[in-house]
Amino acid sequence: MKFSLVAALVVVLAVSHGTEAVSLVKRDVQSEVDRIAKILNDMSAATQEMVEKVKALEVTNTAQTYLEDSKAKILPLVEKVQAEATKLQEQVKPFIANIEGQIRPLTDNFNAQVKPLADNFQAQVQPLAENLQAQVKPLTDMMEKFFQQVMDQTKALLPPQ
């Protein structure tokens, strides 16, 4: 429809221009034909550009509508999943509390039995560790002195710089 309106406008312009063209000299006819052809080409390009812009706008509107429709469909599902998750959490709370109530005495009992054993083990190992440290200390001191003597003798053998 738009194209037919543009075509009709071009025909009207050509007819009105044709009545004036009768009085033109033959050499001016070619320049007038070129000018009309340029006008027609410009109008055709403008029409094509407008059609492309309308199509682009339609694509944008279609995409926007699709996104809105998708959001409208997904939103109730998300709300339903959230509601089900909340229900499930409320249903699981008593079970977790029950399990916690059963395990707490076991862990407390385990800690009560293990603590004396750990304290006893530490009491037995502490003197052994101190005894071992007392026996190893003279050996480490002797090794340290030995390495110091080796270093001193090595330095004495090196030529002065």
What tens digit of pLDDT does each residue of 10-65 get? 666 666 665 555 555 555 677 887 888 888 888 888 888 888 888 888 878 888 88
Residue with tokens 């390495």, as numbered in its chain: 147
Asked if residue 154 is part of any domain, the answer here is no
Asked if residue 80 is part of any domain, the answer here is yes
The residue type of 123 is: A
Asked if residue 19 is part of any domain, the answer here is yes
The boundaries of the domain holding residue 144 are 2-149
Q: Is 22 helix (H, G, I), strand (E, B) or coil?
A: coil
Asked if residue 62 is part of any domain, the answer here is yes
Asked if residue 155 is part of any domain, the answer here is no
Q: Is the pLDDT of residue 134 over 80?
A: yes
- From 42-46, 96-100, 126-130, the region with the lowest mean pLDDT: 42-46
Asked if residue 161 is part of any domain, the answer here is no
Number of structural domains (the chain) is 1
Is the CB of residue 6 less than 8 Å from the CB of residue 43?
yes
CA distances from 153 to 15, 18, 58, 74, 147 (A): 121, 121, 94, 85, 10
Asked if residue 138 is part of any domain, the answer here is yes
The overall average pLDDT reported for the chain is 82
The residue type of 159 is: P
CA distances from 158 to 54, 61, 81, 149, 153 (A): 93, 90, 82, 14, 9
User: Which residues have CB under 8 Å from 29's CB, separation 6+?
Assistant: 21
CA dihedral 136, 142, 147, 151 (to 10 degrees): 150
Asked if residue 109 is part of any domain, the answer here is yes
Q: What was the pLDDT predicted at 127?
A: 92
